Structure 1
Amino acid sequence: MKSYSTRAMALIASAGLLAVAACSAGSGTSSGSSPGADQSLSIGLVAEPASLDFTTTDGAAIPQALLGNVYNGLVKQDDSGKIGPDLAKSWTVSPDRKTYTFELVDNAKFTNGAAFTAADAVFSINRVKTAWTTSLKAAMDVVAEAKAVSPTQLQVTLTKPSNGWLFRMTTRVGAMFSQTGVDKLATEPVGTGPYKLGTWKRGDSIVLQRNDAYWGSKPFFNQVTLKYFKDPTALNNALLTGTINVVGTVQAPEALSQFTNNDKYQVIEGTTNGEVVLSFNNSRPVFKDVAVRQAIRQAIDHKALLDTCFAGRGKLIGSMVPPTDPWYEDLTSVAPFDLAKAKAALASAGVAGTALRLRLPTLPYATSCGQVVKSQLEQAGLKVTIDQLEFPAAWLTSVFKNADYDMSIIGHVEPRDLGAVFNAKYYTRYDDPTLQALLASADAGDEAAQTEDMKKAARRLSEQAAADWLFLLPNLMVADKNVTGLPANAITESFDLSRLARS
């Protein structure tokens, strides 16, 4: 619930975060740089993980810190968003598109000393089904069998062709775990990545130490501190005073001028997967009427909202698909701002004057945008009460887990999360058989069919007003001038620390 939330939320939910991915022009270690024995880096973020175990705890803050850093997967997304090798050197797919055969690296070890083998991959895949408790586990339902053909060869058979399965293996669902290292995941993660957990000071910071036994290229920094701030001004001041070296997720875009006019710093602006969603609890009677949902969407002046609460940074999209996905279409014209029409529709539906509770996480973007949403909806004739919940714990429990809310605002950052967010079991409680049929068809079809069906699914979602999409979060980062390898775009759940260096 991915600034920013997951699919259980890629919610920038754990959010506040933009889960940053390595997708940048200019990413990578600077020429001639090499791992520094005593080089350290400090990155300022907003949403601290509630736990370090993303198999049982939702929120994007955990994979932001650990995925790709402490944990590897079999595959990962490259700089163009395509799927490439990680612990799997290569793979083949059977003609019927149901059997995947992976050739694994032979020199990877977990930080507990155990060698990584195909048996660990089988264990990790099966464990998603048997031990994971988050909604993300459904991604592995399509797996019929995973077996170790040899220590370095893995074979996975699906029950049916699935475009989504291999892609999901680039997310947290595809993380590889040690068979002897899952007893204390909430506090002692064990992975094969370039970093390992040093210390976690709750409420303050997570320190990651370079894994000197890492099987791949060694990262430049021997220590990276992820420092968490609840206040955007304090976050900015920490960079200005040298307490941190990078603002990982700018929370107050209106304050960027203090950095853009200072040659000590660099400002990076790109795009993300982070849709800031005005969520509706579709199980509530008032939201069962599509006319009411559509009216609420038309009551919101999205451009004015973006200008007011996020300094005009970001992009208006109109549905749950970012421009970096192949099936993106600009759907902002589906529900254009029309206050008079919205007022009339709400009155006609008999809900004018209805009191709605807008339960917001204590995240800067949600707080500021929530005030604008309240004002605009009240102009349309609704009564809106804002209720702030501490994030992540209180919000995840009350809104995400128990659906005790009418509306909320959260950034969803997990990639390609349309179907995960909008279904009857998720916190949106959105039950639409037509949408589910389109998603099933998209998953089973060829590339062209997938794109066409996903476009139809996104339009269906927008026309049915399952929620309102306030805007797409930008990837805004500020850093010391000499930090290299920062991503221009945030298209995965992970903030890839291994690519960072100092010139």
Structure 2
Amino acid sequence: MGTFRMGMRQVIACCAAIALTVTAGCTSKSEEQATAQARNLVIGATAQPQSMDPTTQSGAAIPQALLYNLYETLVKIDGEGQIKPLLAQKWTTSPDRLTYTFDLQPKAKFSSGDPVDAEAVVANIERIQTQKNVLPTLKKQMAVVAQATATDATTVTVKLKRPSQAWLYDMASATGAIADPKSFSTLASTPVGSGPFSFDEWKQGESVALKRNEHYWGTPARFDHVRFRYFADANSMSSAMLSGDLDIISDLTAPEALEQFQDPSRFSVVEGTSNGEVVLGMNQGKGGNPALKNVKVRQAIVHAIDRKALLDSVWGGKGTLIGSMVPPTDPWYEDLYASQPYDQAKAKKLLKEAGVTNLKLRLRVPTLPYGPSSAQFITSQLKAVGITVTVEELDWARWLKEVHDGGNYDMTIVSHVEPRDIVKFADPTYYWHYDNPAFTKLVERADASTEAEQVALMKQAAKTLSTDAAANFLWLFPRIAVTKADITGMPANATSASFDVTTLASRNG
């Protein structure tokens, strides 16, 4: 997700460089020189991981740091949103679209040194299906699998219960992360994958450090050490970048600071788009105000908020105004923003038709850069149509526990960054508790259809969400990356939950 990386789009901040200290009395001169020449990369983020296992803990913070860097998948999503080979060097699909055959990279190994063979892949698929504490959304994505078989050491055959357009795409996400089966019981604290980096250390609330995987089967990592550090204050990130302590701001969370990074001799700025839909979620189930089950109340909330003025005020006008849970990089994108115009008179009329007066709502938001400021703006707008809002700010861990997992809220604001996450509205158990059988049926039909039919059906589904005011889709985050001038390979678009270090290099190293 948002940065929720549910995901939820997690906003990425910047961090201080790794300091390596050497004691002269214990270290040889050659070791000192090697340490001094180590290639280090520091990346910042705002939402801190609560675990190292993305299959059992919600949020985008874990895949942001570990997906494709430490955990690899059979296939991955590239910077253009296309599916490409990774642990599977190639694959075929049967004419009836029910059987996938994957040919694995024969040299792939986990950082433990054990082979990434067909049995290991099957064990990971079965773990998602059977382990009790795996996230329900991941279980739902893997539920379409009837059987996974190790045909031989480097061949995996997967049979589906029905054709699915989404399943292979989902296998490029945390759902398809392949971990060393021997480490399943300790993944939450000590992850073991097959990527170009292996786990180094996790300082909870502070940083996650990775190091070069010496057993890596593919192109070696271009950096020896990578550290993700976590900051709550966007201005501190910008200051650290300006002082030269940071290598990258992968997602600038203070767009007004852009003008400070205009010196091309020091910085490069890359702008693109993302999957990060900033959503005003409305709890339509247990734990939320019952009035939010009324479509006219939800529509009133949508019409009461001037989303363009919100974007200008909170995010410096940077971003895309959207009318549903679909970014422009998805095949079924349509501009639905105009279908939900700012109209406070209409909002008042809808509330009157719903028979709702003196509505009081709890808006519980995470203390991410966009949360509190958006909440204050929205509180003022809703007050103008007769809705009283009480705002409560929660740190990320508490938000995950009480809002996302516990459903203890009326409204919330978070960025959902997972690709093609519109389908989460088809799950009534998800934390919005949106339950529209017509929408769910459209999503199911689209998944089982041909590619062309899928696009048409998903356009209908997106319009249904918009008309039904399933949520208020505030805006889509831009991807604004700031790097030191020597860093190359930063993709313009953020097409997955991963901050993929494998594309990056340094001209100085």
TM-score of the superposed pair, with normalisation by structure 1? 0.93
Q: Aligned partners of 2:452 and 2:12: how far apart in 1? A: 33
| SS state at 2:339 partner | coil
Identify the residue that residue 114 of structure 1 maps to in structure 2: 114
Identify the residue that residue 142 of structure 1 maps to in structure 2: 144
Q: Aligned partners of 2:496 and 2:302: how far apart in 1? A: 28
Give the superposition deviation at 1:465. 0.3
Farther-moved stretch of structure 1 (42-51 vs 167-176): 42-51
Give the superposition deviation at 1:80. 2.4
Identify the residue that residue 71 of structure 1 maps to in structure 2: 71
How many residues get paired? 480
Identify the residue that residue 16 of structure 1 maps to in structure 2: 11
Identify the residue that residue 328 of structure 1 maps to in structure 2: 333
Q: Aligned partners of 2:220 and 2:261: how far apart in 1? A: 31
Give the superposition deviation at 1:203. 1.8
CA RMSD of aligned residues (A): 1.4
5 Å-filtered alignment, 1:384-463, equals: 384-391=389-396, 393-463=397-467
Kindly provide the amino acid, as one letter, of the partner of residue 199 in structure 2: L
Find the partner of 2:384 among 371, 376, 379: 379
Q: Aligned partners of 2:282 and 2:249: how far apart in 1? A: 31
5 Å-filtered alignment, 1:22-33, equals: none
Kindly provide the amino acid, as one letter, of the partner of residue 56 in structure 1: T
| SS state at 2:370 partner | helix
Find the partner of 1:155 among 133, 154, 157: 157
Identify the residue that residue 373 of structure 2 maps to in structure 1: 368
Identify the residue that residue 496 of structure 1 maps to in structure 2: 500
Q: Aligned partners of 2:37 and 2:187: how far apart in 1? A: 28
Identify the residue that residue 21 of structure 2 maps to in structure 1: none
Farther-moved stretch of structure 1 (296-305 vs 280-289): 280-289
Farther-moved stretch of structure 1 (309-318 vs 373-382): 373-382
Q: Decide whether the 8 Å contact of 2:305 with 2:342 is kept in 1.
A: yes
Give the superposition deviation at 1:422. 4.7
5 Å-filtered alignment, 1:18-417, equals: 38-131=38-131, 132-134=133-135, 135-261=137-263, 263-283=265-285, 284-391=289-396, 393-417=397-421
Kindly provide the amino acid, as one letter, of the partner of residue 216 in structure 1: G
Could you give the per-residue CA deviations for residues 378-415 of structure 1, whole angstroms, max 9, x where no partner exists?
Answer: 11110011011111x11011111111100000000000
Structure number with the higher helix fraction is 2
Kindly provide the amino acid, as one letter, of the partner of residue 194 in structure 2: T
| SS state at 1:409 partner | strand
Identify the residue that residue 33 of structure 1 maps to in structure 2: none
| SS state at 2:445 partner | helix
Give the superposition deviation at 1:423. 2.5
Give the superposition deviation at 1:100. 0.4
Name stretches of at least 5 consecutive residues in structure 1 with no aligned partner: 19-35
| SS state at 2:252 partner | coil
Q: Decide whether the 8 Å contact of 1:422 with 1:429 is kept in 2.
A: no
Give the superposition deviation at 1:136. 2.1
Identify the residue that residue 23 of structure 2 maps to in structure 1: none
Give the superposition deviation at 1:84. 1.3
| SS state at 2:191 partner | coil
Q: Decide whether the 8 Å contact of 1:219 with 1:499 is kept in 2.
A: no
Name stretches of at least 5 consecutive residues in structure 2 with no aligned partner: 14-35
Kindly provide the amino acid, as one letter, of the partner of residue 97 in structure 2: R
Q: Decide whether the 8 Å contact of 2:110 with 2:194 is kept in 1.
A: yes
| SS state at 2:228 partner | strand
Could you give the per-residue CA deviations for residues 95-145 of structure 1, whole angstroms, max 9, x where no partner exists?
Answer: 111000111111011111211100001001110011252122210000000
Q: Aligned partners of 1:102 and 1:44: how far apart in 2? A: 35
Give the superposition deviation at 1:335. 1.1
| SS state at 2:458 partner | helix
Q: Percent identity?
A: 47
Q: Decide whether the 8 Å contact of 1:112 with 1:181 is kept in 2.
A: no
Q: Decide whether the 8 Å contact of 1:142 with 1:159 is kept in 2.
A: yes
Q: Decide whether the 8 Å contact of 1:377 with 1:384 is kept in 2.
A: yes
Q: Aligned partners of 1:130 and 1:63: how far apart in 2? A: 21
Give the superposition deviation at 1:151. 0.2
Q: Decide whether the 8 Å contact of 2:280 with 2:412 is kept in 1.
A: yes
Kindly provide the amino acid, as one letter, of the partner of residue 328 in structure 1: Y
Identify the structure with bigger relative contact order (alpha carbons < 8 Å, sequence gap 6+).
Answer: 1
Could you give the per-residue CA deviations for residues 215-273 of structure 1, whole angstroms, max 9, x where no partner exists?
Answer: 01012111111111011111111111122111122111112111125641111111000
Give the superposition deviation at 1:421. 4.0
TM-score of the superposed pair, with normalisation by structure 2? 0.92
